[in-house]
């Protein structure tokens, strides 16, 4: 939809008989009319009076809706009954036109005159009867743009003079005041500052504010559902298709998420930032069981829409829901909880919303506790490095070990890495954990060397987060010179997805280590994208096959074939192969027959503390 017409200026204005006293008279009449208790009767009365006073064909009042960029016809006075009624009709604008419209309204009102050769008017949406002239008056309450009053004539042009326009603007604002005081749908009012210029939704700030004001009332009807939605891969759309297209996506999303809900009382939606949206609406308890399915369906439909628009990017939509029952809940908390639930969506079930639970809150508190405690744990050496042996297939001798971290609580029990590594990868603290582990490993090797005991190579895990900064190589160099450990005793394990997602940096890192005579392995091979392609271009020393292939004690034929294949390919590429997660004798025997070089797993040894690993080494190597 494009906006025709021009902004009013003095040259449009021709003197007619309407003078200051007429203006005063009009304003007085309208304000008095609006004092009537029956608001609908009052506004209809004003519309009719304006239509007759200015002898135009039609006067209508449109107000903003809960949906973005939309105006709905809410009152109408039509002189000629053969013309089309538009009451209830909703006109949705595209973002550019909406912005232009507000621009025009900020400066004054909007005038269209067919005889002047203006471009066809579409500001009122596709018109059933093409108008000869239109005057559109904005309704502002303070800064808030709440709608328009439209004077339309189908037959003849109308020369508006400045006094008329001034009087009409005052009337529009009086109507607006009256509606705003009493009409609940106007609660979703918006303004130039309070609205998001891209989607036309209210801004996050006003959403927060309004939710705070309205929550108590909303809860009188039903619990309130806060729905937080994140469109994943939006970044790629911006990068692939450009920002203008990215903005289109946001508008499509905003429209889809509010579609059909314009008429739901108290429905509110806004864009939190970039591609994150949040909505709130009362949800009768009997609808709760089906609500996640409803959201899932909406998400799938939106995904389908976006897929058509942006075929090169596989968009995913994650949604979290938080149900609010307590009127004292702070909007910010409810939104944060819904967002938290959203983060719990599993990628396999991207479209399915996750509902916030108190247990999630417990998890979060625990995570906060771990994050706060980490510096102490490092300083007090509560983080312990455990060593899990790697065994040579050829003769069951000890090849080396992998360093695995554990967090020992005060009571002696342990927190395992799956409880804190993902968390610390998220907040970046993993760098401190890894550096601590590396130092412990260097210390351990130095001690054994100093004591003249046999030593075996130790491998350490490298988190992908290290590639966000360049600290890791200097740190390893620092440890090498501090502890004077032969580099041949060191190995670093990088997971396969590090190679894929940070190819350039990972590649440079691998080369640097190898120049220093330190070995590198690809960890968790087969757990994710498994690309033998990557394997063939990277100079990796060892391939670590993930334990996904060892699901059962007795291997099935498919897994056997895959394992044999991977092992023989890796060997042809000149790599060593180690299989992890080996728990049974039959698994180990199969791997030996398949020409695997090394085995790591409970069958040969669990991760053990330094003291136990000393003993283990002694048994194996003397
Ligand atoms: P990972 O690197 O794949 O380490 C192997 C994991 O498999 C270890 O779990 C180990 O205890 C477990 N495992 C070994 N043999 C068997 C077996 O026979 N059966 C089964 N079911 N499991 C076995 P852990 O120690 O809980 O570590 C989990 C993950 O945490 C590690 O997976 C690694 O990705 C990460 N991690 C551990 N320590 C560190 C560290 O110091 N730094 C970093 N960045 N990540 C670490
Ligand atoms: Ca590992
Ligand atoms: Ca692994």
* Residue range 113-127, pLDDT digits in tens: 888 766 655 566 677
465 close to ligand 1 (CB < 6 Angstrom): no
List, for residues 254-293, the tens digit of each pLDDT value.
878 877 665 566 889 999 888 999 999 999 999 999 999 9
Of 141, 109, 113, 106, whose CA–CA distance to 4 is shortest? 113
Q: Which two tokens stand for residue 43?
A: 């506004």
**Ligand 2 mean position, distance from CA 113 (Å):** 74
Residue 298 confidence (pLDDT) above 70: yes
CA distance linking residue 454 with residue 466, whole number of Å: 31
pLDDT (0 to 100) of residue 224: 96
Please name the residue whose Cα sits nearest to atom 25 of ligand 1.
404
Q: Which atom of ligand 1 is nearest to the CA of 607?
A: 11
Q: Is 496 in the pocket of ligand 1 (CB under 6 A)?
A: no
Residue 491, ligand 1, Cβ within 6 A: no
Smallest CA separation from ligand 1 atom 35, residue: 417
Q: Which ligand is nearest to the CA of 462?
A: 1
| Secondary structure element (H or E) that encloses residue 20, with its range | helix 20-34
Q: Cα separations (Å) of 147 from 61, 114, 172, 372, 411?
A: 7, 23, 10, 50, 65
Which residues are bridge partners to 58 per DSSP?
78, 152
How many angstroms separate the Cα of 518 from the Cα of each of 7, 130, 456?
Answer: 72, 79, 13
Cβ atoms < 10 Å from Cβ of 8: 19
Note the pLDDT of residue 118. Answer: 65
Q: How far apart are the CA of 493 and the centre of ligand 2, in A? A: 6
What residue's CA is closest to ligand 1, atom 41?
Answer: 405
Q: Does the C-beta of 434 come closer than 6 Å to ligand 1?
A: yes
The finding on whether 562 has its CB within 6 A of some atom of ligand 1 is no
Distance 351 CA to ligand 3 centre (A): 29
> CA–CA separation, 374 vs 424, rounded Å?
10
pLDDT, residue 80, reads 84
Residue 186 pLDDT grade (very low, low, confident, very high; cuts 50, 70, 90): very low
- Both tokens of 199, joined, read 């989607």
Please work out whether the CB of residue 109 comes within 6 Å of at least one atom of ligand 1.
Answer: no
Those residues whose beta carbon sits under 5 angstroms from the ion ligand 3 are: 523-524
State the average pLDDT over residues 357-361: 90
**CA separation for the pair 551, 127 (Å, rounded):** 66
User: Which ligand is in closest contact with the Cα of 546?
Assistant: 3
Nearest CA to ligand 1 atom 21: 581
Among 187-201, 364-378, 459-473, which is the least confidently predicted range? 187-201
Looking at residue 263, its pLDDT comes to 53
Q: What's the pLDDT at 601?
A: 97
Residue 383's closest CA among 403, 408, 402, 364?
408
Ligand 1 within 6 A of 601 CB?
Answer: yes
Q: For residues 13 and 286, what is the distance between their CA atoms, to the nearest angstrom?
A: 59
Q: What is the per-residue pLDDT for 518? A: 97
Per-residue pLDDT, 589:
96
pLDDT of residue 46 exceeding 90: yes
Q: CA-CA distance, 449 to 446, in Å (whole number)?
A: 5
End-to-end CA distance of the chain: 84
Judged against a pLDDT cut of 70, whether residue 478 lies above it is answered with yes
Token pair, residue 385, equals 């490095």
Question: What is the mean pLDDT of the segment spanning 443-462?
Answer: 97
Strands of the sheet containing 224-232, edge to edge, are: 268-273, 276-282, 224-232, 316-324, 354-355
For ligand 1, mutation pick of 377, 417, 528 (most atoms within 8 Å of CB): 417
- What is the whole-number distance in angstroms between the Cα of residue 562 and the centre of ligand 2? 21
- Is the CB of 406 inside a 6 Å radius of any atom of ligand 1? no
HSE toward the beta carbon, residue 189, CA cutoff 13 A: 21
What is the structure's pLDDT at 142? 60
Q: How far is the CA of 490 from the centre of ligand 1 (A)?
A: 18
Task: Answer yes or no: is pLDDT of 15 > 70.
Answer: no
Helix 585-593 with 557-572: angle, nearest 10 deg: 40
Condensed to tens digits (0 to 9), the pLDDT of residues 395-431 reads: 999 999 999 999 999 999 999 999 999 999 988 999 9
Mean pLDDT (whole number) for 59-84: 86
- Examine the pLDDT at 17 and tell me if it is beyond 60: yes
Q: Would you state the structure tokens that stand for residue 401, as one six-digit string?
A: 């070990």
The yes-or-no verdict on residue 39 having pLDDT over 60 is yes
Q: How far, in Å, CA of 368 to CA of 376, rounded? A: 14
The answer to whether 389 and 616 are in contact (CB under 8 A) is yes
Question: What separation in Å is there between the alpha carbon of 404 and the centre of ligand 1?
Answer: 6
Rounded distance between C-alpha atoms, residue 518 and residue 274, angstroms? 43
Flag the least confident range among 83-92, 136-145, 598-607: 136-145
pLDDT confidence bin for 185, thresholds 50/70/90: very low
- pLDDT on residue 119: 61
Residues ≥6 apart with Cβ < 8 Å to 287 = none
Judge if the beta carbon of residue 583 lies within 6 A of ligand 1: yes
Q: Which ligand gives the minimal distance to the CA of 421?
A: 1
Among residues 566, 528, 518, 524, which one has the least CA distance to residue 547? 524
Q: Which two tokens stand for residue 18?
A: 């309407």
| Ligand 1 atom 2, closest CA | 461
pLDDT of res. 262:
55
How far lies 474's CA from each of 302, 512, 513, in Å? 47, 11, 11
Q: SS3 of 41, please?
A: helix
203 SS3 class: coil
Which ligand lies nearest to the CA atom of residue 404 in the structure? Answer: 1
Of 263, 258, 294, 293, the C-alpha closest to 277 is: 258
Place of tokens 């034929």: 557
Q: Over the stretch 524-577, which tens digit does the pLDDT of each residue have?
A: 988 765 566 667 777 889 999 999 888 888 888 888 888 998 899 889 889 999
> Which residue puts its alpha carbon closest to atom 10 of ligand 1?
607
User: Residue whose CA is closest, atom 4 of ligand 1?
Assistant: 404
- Taking the C-alpha atoms of residue 513 and residue 323, their distance in angstroms, rounded to an integer, is 51
For residue 218, the model assigns a pLDDT of 92
The pLDDT tens digits of the residues spanning 202-232 come to 888 889 988 999 999 999 989 999 999 999 8
Q: Ligand 2 center to residue 312 CA distance, Å?
A: 34
Question: Among 119-123, 148-152, 571-575, 603-607, where is mean pLDDT lowest?
Answer: 119-123
Whether 542 contacts 578, CB under 8 Å: yes
Model pLDDT, residue 530: 57
**CA gap 419, 66 in Å, rounded:** 42
């Amino acid at each position: 939809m494009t906006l025709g017409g021009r902004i009013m200026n003095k040259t449009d204005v021709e003197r007619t008989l309407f003078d200051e006293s007429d203006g005063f008279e009009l304003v007085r009449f309208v304000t008095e009319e609006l004092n009537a208790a029956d608001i609908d009767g009052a506004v209809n009365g004003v519309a009719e009076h304006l239509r007759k006073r200015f002898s135009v064909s039609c006067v209508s009042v449109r107000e903003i809706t809960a949906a973005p960029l939309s105006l709905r016809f809410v009152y109408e006075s039509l002189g000629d009954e053969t013309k089309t009624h538009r009451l209830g009709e909703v006109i949705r604008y595209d973002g550019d036109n909406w912005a232009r419209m507000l621009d025009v309204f900020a400066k004054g009102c909007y005038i269209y005159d067919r005889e002047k050769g203006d471009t066809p008017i579409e500001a009122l949406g596709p018109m059933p009867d093409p108008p000869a002239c239109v005057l559109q008056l904005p309704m502002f309450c303070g800064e808030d743009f709440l709608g328009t009053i439209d004077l339309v004539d189908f037959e003849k042009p109308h020369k508006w003079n400045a006094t008329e326009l001034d009087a009409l603007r005052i009337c529009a604002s009086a109507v607006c005041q009256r509606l705003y005081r009493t009409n609940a749908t106007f609660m979703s009012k918006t303004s130039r500052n309070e609205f998001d210029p891209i989607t036309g939704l209210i801004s996050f700030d006003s959403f927060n504010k309004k939710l705070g004001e309205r929550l108590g009332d909303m809860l009188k009807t039903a619990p309130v559902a806060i729905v937080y939605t994140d469109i994943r891969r939006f970044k790629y759309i911006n990068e692939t298709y450009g920002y203008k297209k990215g903005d289109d996506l946001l508008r499509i999303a905003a429209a889809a998420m509010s579609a059909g809900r314009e008429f739901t009382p108290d429905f509110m939606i806004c864009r939190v930032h970039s591609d994150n949206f949040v909505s709130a609406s009362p949800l009768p308890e009997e609808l709760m069981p089906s609500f996640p399915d409803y959201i899932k369906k909406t998400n799938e439909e939106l995904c389908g829409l976006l897929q058509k628009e942006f075929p090169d990017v596989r968009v995913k939509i994650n949604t979290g829901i938080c149900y609010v029952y307590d009127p004292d809940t702070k909007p910010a908390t409810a939104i944060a909880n819904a967002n938290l639930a959203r983060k719990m969506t599993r990628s396999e079930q991207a479209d399915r919303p996750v509902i916030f639970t108190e247990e999630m809150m417990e998890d979060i508190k625990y995570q906060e506790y771990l994050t706060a405690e980490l510096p102490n744990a490092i300083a007090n050496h509560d983080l312990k490095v455990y060593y899990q042996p790697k065994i040579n297939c050829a003769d069951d001798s000890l090849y080396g070990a992998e360093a695995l971290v554990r967090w020992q609580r005060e009571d002696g029990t342990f927190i395992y890495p799956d409880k804190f590594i993902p968390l610390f990868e998220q907040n970046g603290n993993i760098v401190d954990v890894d550096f601590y582990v590396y130092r412990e490993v260097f210390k351990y090797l130095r001690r054994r060397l100093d004591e003249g005991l046999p030593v075996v190579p130790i491998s350490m895990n490298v988190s992908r987060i290290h590639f966000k900064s360049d600290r890791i190589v200097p740190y390893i160099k620092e440890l090498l010179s501090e502890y004077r450990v032969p580099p041949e005793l060191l190995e670093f394990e990088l997971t396969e997805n590090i190679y894929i997602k940070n190819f350039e940096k990972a590649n440079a890192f691998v080369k640097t280590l190898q120049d220093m005579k330190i070995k590198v392995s690809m960890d968790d091979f087969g757990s994710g994208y498994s690309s033998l392609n990557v394997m063939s271009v990277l100079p990796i020393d060892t391939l670590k096959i993930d334990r996904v292939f060892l699901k059962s004690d007795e291997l099935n034929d498919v897994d056997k074939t895959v394992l044999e294949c991977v092992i023989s390919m890796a060997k042809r590429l000149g790599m060593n192969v180690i299989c992890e997660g080996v728990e049974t004798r039959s698994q180990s025997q199969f791997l030996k027959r398949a020409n695997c070089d090394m085995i790591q797993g409970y069958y040969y040894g669990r991760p053990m503390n330094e003291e136990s690993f000393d003993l283990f080494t002694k048994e194996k190597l003397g």
